[in-house]
Structure 1
Amino acid sequence: MPQDLPGFYYDAEKNRYFPIKSPIPGSSSRNSSSASTSAQKLPAKPIKAKSGDRGIAAKVVKMLHKRELSGNSITSNKKKVNFQDQYQKLQTSKPIIWKYQGTQRIADAALEHIRLNLQTPDGLTETDILLTGGLNGTFCCYEVGSVEHHAINGLQCMPDLVKPLNTEKETSSLKSPGLIWRPIGALVQMPSNVSCIKTPRNHHYQATDADSSPSHALITTLGSETSGGSVYSMNLKEPLEYGLGVAMLSQRIDEISRFKSTVWTADFNSNKHQAVIGTNIGAALVHIESGKKTWICRSKSDVLCLQFDSSGNNVLCGLRNGGIVTVDTRQKPQNLQDQFPRHRISFSSTKGQKHEKQWFEIRGNVHHNKTISMPSSISCLSRLKTYDDYFLASSMDGTVRLYDCRLREKGAVLQFYEGHVNSHTRIQIGVDPSERFFMSGGEDCCLRVWSIKSGEMLYEDKFMDSVASSVCNRFGGAWLGSQEGLFYMNNNL
């Protein structure tokens, strides 16, 4: 039987392929019907190609495969585009979205999806675990997916289909992501609001590798009016035990460091067993095992978000005043503020319609040539693993940009992204594992998805009544958290 080729149909009477003239992907129903009519003309037994033509046919198949799947072979907006890119954009623009019952206010601060070993009555099995943190101080552990066989006690949360709603698309292909299950005792009330949950960054891209299972998860709390925030470590070295390890969640969590200041964020350096903590007075390194704390920079402007680079030697810090600075962690330990080198860094300030150049002081081993300024407080930073000097940054005035920190003197901006809505909220950016797309909620309660490369907005919709402030991407989909509850977005990739 002749091989099916994307964009072509085979006419057995003429013993050759003919192109489907409608655009691919997304051909119109008219052309689709004509193609199906032609397909109906095919006899039950196709005409066999002559033996001398087999070599030519094989070359044609190879050329068409290369053209359709590897080359810029589709015309869109009067230019040639890549077939695979266009197909992925189409899939991303038509997600399937589910909302979980009974999950209000449990994931509006932080989300992490990990894959761990779970000891069940039937033996050791690998399972998906969702860690959630709420602005009300709750920290929860959920098992995801095929848990019906042992989810006896505890809270079961079922998903309801949110998008699409039209019955034509509600078919068996819209497979449910399955229930999530929280055993009794798998909820811990932290001393103050959860501000961050982190696992080693490389784990998200090696979820199928048994050796990639994280040994710890970091949880930070914001602090209160009477006390500062804290850093906690959740032990994941030993398999979770059904009915015991998960249910006794509090026994796996230890406070490793306490601050007198507000703790906004954290990141994990698994290579050196370190965490970097962002506070309202600067950033500090904390050793996971010993809890030893070492300040790496001090600033009067809060460090609202930060991230290690791939080497673990530098930390990208986003400040409340809109500054983005890179701090080298390889300096000698310094604990006294007056021992840090001082730097005076310029940033742009907007007052009304006037743009003014101002200065702020920061102490630490800061790279001046990698300092960048955004119009407002930094809401989120996300480095790209493919290109370590590239990072996405969003600020609280709705600005979202892609930067190359090596090009500061030339402007550093590689791409702008329009349409984001924010004024004062800390909203996370979620980058898909392939680093082709990213998503973010907005203060207008819409979720938006952009192409990282082109800047094109691929999806925009309002399907919740609160801000999707937390997001955790995984292969094939993403978890979204808001005050309204927990959502799962499946983009079929």
Structure 2
Amino acid sequence: MDSSSSVTSRSSTVPELPGFYYDPEKNRYFRLLPGNNNCNPLTKESIRQREMESKRLRLLEEDRQRKKAIRTGLNSLFLHQKRQLGLLSSTSYCRRVHELKVNCMQRQKVEIRSPPDFFDSTSANPFQLLLADTACETVFTVNAADRGQCKYGIIKLDSLWNDHLQVDMCDNFNFTNHKINAACWVSVTHPDSHLLLCLMGIANTPGSSGLLPVSQFSNFSEDVLVYLFLSLAVQSRMLCSVKIPMAWSCAWGLNPQVGSCFSTGSTRRVYVTNIVTGLTQTFSTESDVLAQQFATRTPVLYNGCRSGEIFSIDIRQHAKKRCRRKRVCFFHNSAVTSLKILQDENYVMAADMAGKIKLWDLRTRKCVKQYEGHNNQYAHLPLHVNEEAGLLLAVGQDCYTRIWSLQDSQLLRTIPSPYPASKDSIPNVAFSSHLGGRRGVPGLLMAVKQDLFYFSYNTDTWCEH
């Protein structure tokens, strides 16, 4: 038994005394101080932070020496033998290989090569959002800037697979005073040709949602005055922009019948806008809509609410027909923060602010699987589903990135953050089987504070158990 486990076992057997804290290292009780005017107060919060930091440092050290898979008896030789005997399908074999590989991913820091900036250094701006396109060739990033501004731009990943881990930021990055609450990639003229952004209102300026052409981020040289003029107001450059009081979520129509529509989740409202006609339908809801996604096979929009309700809307019906509005309706016990419809489209994955991640069968409206270990109390955190690799990823409010097996819901790996846990250091991640495009390899991209990290599959050795 190691020292950390022995300390934990000793502290668990010591009785709790109100107003006192037992220190297992010093083997004595200490009085808990209120923490008002004390230079070094011993409070429950400081104790909890110290324990969390100790755990993070221990897990970081374990991660540096990680060589084994979680599942007992699962190794490369075992998988290869079963594949040769015909006991594993190609899909199952691929997913098992991914399970082995994610357990051996090693963290490497990525250099961000940015153009000269007239305002501040790109490397000094902490990341607030990381959103990979369909092919995972580029990522849309939002960074915090000075004076309450947000800085957003495009980072190219085509050089990520080279020996020197470097990525390039496009020349034309922009600034806005509005917080970007949500974003998604949109295919209007060609795949991932636009970005759909939701902007929070400030002061007397209302929020808005609209399309932003990705072409404006292309590398080009401009006169400084023209550059400054283009960077003044993001709302003025949006296509088919809709002004709304508060924009919490957004989604792009994937079905051909709603292929020219996007939706915005707002305060007790759902707005569906047709970019061809410019018309917007408004659907009333009983709660704020924090998560949205369109189905592909049917013109149906799924919504997750602050009340915990998940319901669907058939976009073909008129908004005033309230009695026919909700086709599917079920509930979580807390606010729903993320929705992901699986390729089968009979299942939807949902995460909430109680830290619950559930897989729902839309036909029976019952939870069929639950993924344990996620941590969330109040943050708006996304889910990342990769069905090709059979993996589910989520970053918790405790700043740990967790990876589950999509098929049997087993927790495969918990990745600690390279920085101490805080509200402004929750990682943003992107996972792909082809990170960096066609020539890319599977891996995880993680943005924490102002740094970018790459977790690559270990191609030299296989994980053994």
TM range (shorter): 0.5 to 0.7
CA distance in 1, matches of 2:394, 2:102: 14
Give the C-alpha shift of residue 91 in structure 1: 0.6
Q: Name the residue aligned to 1:131.
A: 140
SS at match of 1:371: strand
Output aligned runs, 1:59-458, within 5 Å.
67-68=83-84, 70-72=86-88, 83-100=93-110, 103=123, 105=125, 107-113=127-133, 128-134=137-143, 136-146=149-159, 178-184=165-171, 186-200=172-186, 213-236=191-214, 240-243=218-221, 253-269=237-253, 271=256, 272-289=259-276, 291-295=278-282, 297-311=283-297, 313-332=299-318, 334=319, 339-341=320-322, 365-367=325-327, 370-385=328-343, 387-408=344-365, 412-432=366-386, 434=388, 436-458=390-412
Which amino acid in structure 2 is aligned with residue 440 of structure 1?
Answer: A
Q: 1:398 to 1:96 in 2, by over 3 A?
A: same
Give the C-alpha shift of residue 303 in structure 1: 0.2
Structure number with the bigger relative contact order (C-alpha 8 A, sep ≥ 6) is 2
Q: 1:304 to 1:140 in 2, by over 3 A?
A: same
CA distance in 1, matches of 2:354, 2:408: 22
Task: Pick the structure with more strand per residue.
Answer: 1
CA distance in 2, matches of 1:68, 1:82: 13
Q: 2:452 aligns with which of 486, 489, 493?
A: 486
CA distance in 2, matches of 1:69, 1:491: 26
CA distance in 2, matches of 1:289, 1:189: 28
Alpha-carbon RMSD: 3.6
1:243-277: CA deviation from partner (whole Å, max 9, x where unpaired): 469x9685994253232311011111254221111
SS at match of 1:388: coil
Q: 1:114 to 1:383 in 2, by over 3 A?
A: closer
Assess if the C-alpha contact under 8 Å between 2:395 and 2:401 holds in 1. Answer: yes
Unaligned 5+ runs, structure 1: 1-21, 29-63, 74-80, 116-126, 147-158, 160-173, 204-210, 343-363
Output aligned runs, 1:22-41, within 5 Å.
25=75
Unaligned 5+ runs, structure 2: 1-71, 112-121, 434-441, 460-465
SS at match of 2:303: strand
Q: Name the residue aligned to 1:156.
A: none
Between the two proteins, the alignment pairs up a number of residues equal to 350
CA distance in 2, matches of 1:445, 1:266: 25
1:210-252: CA deviation from partner (whole Å, max 9, x where unpaired): x96333221221222433321232224799455469x968599
Task: Pick the structure with more helix per residue.
Answer: 2
CA distance in 1, matches of 2:215, 2:298: 22
CA distance in 2, matches of 1:177, 1:365: 53
Q: 1:83 to 1:255 in 2, by over 3 A?
A: closer
Give the C-alpha shift of residue 413 in structure 1: 1.0
Q: Which has the larger radius of gyration?
A: 1
Assess if the C-alpha contact under 8 Å between 2:170 and 2:217 holds in 1. Answer: no
1:103-127: CA deviation from partner (whole Å, max 9, x where unpaired): 4655323423356xxxxxxxxxxx9
Assess if the C-alpha contact under 8 Å between 1:433 and 1:474 holds in 2. Answer: no
Assess if the C-alpha contact under 8 Å between 1:440 and 1:448 holds in 2. Answer: yes
Which amino acid in structure 2 is aligned with residue 141 of structure 1?
Answer: I
Identity level (%): 19
Assess if the C-alpha contact under 8 Å between 2:127 and 2:143 holds in 1. Answer: yes
Q: Structure 1-normalised TM-score?
A: 0.62
CA distance in 2, matches of 1:94, 1:24: 13
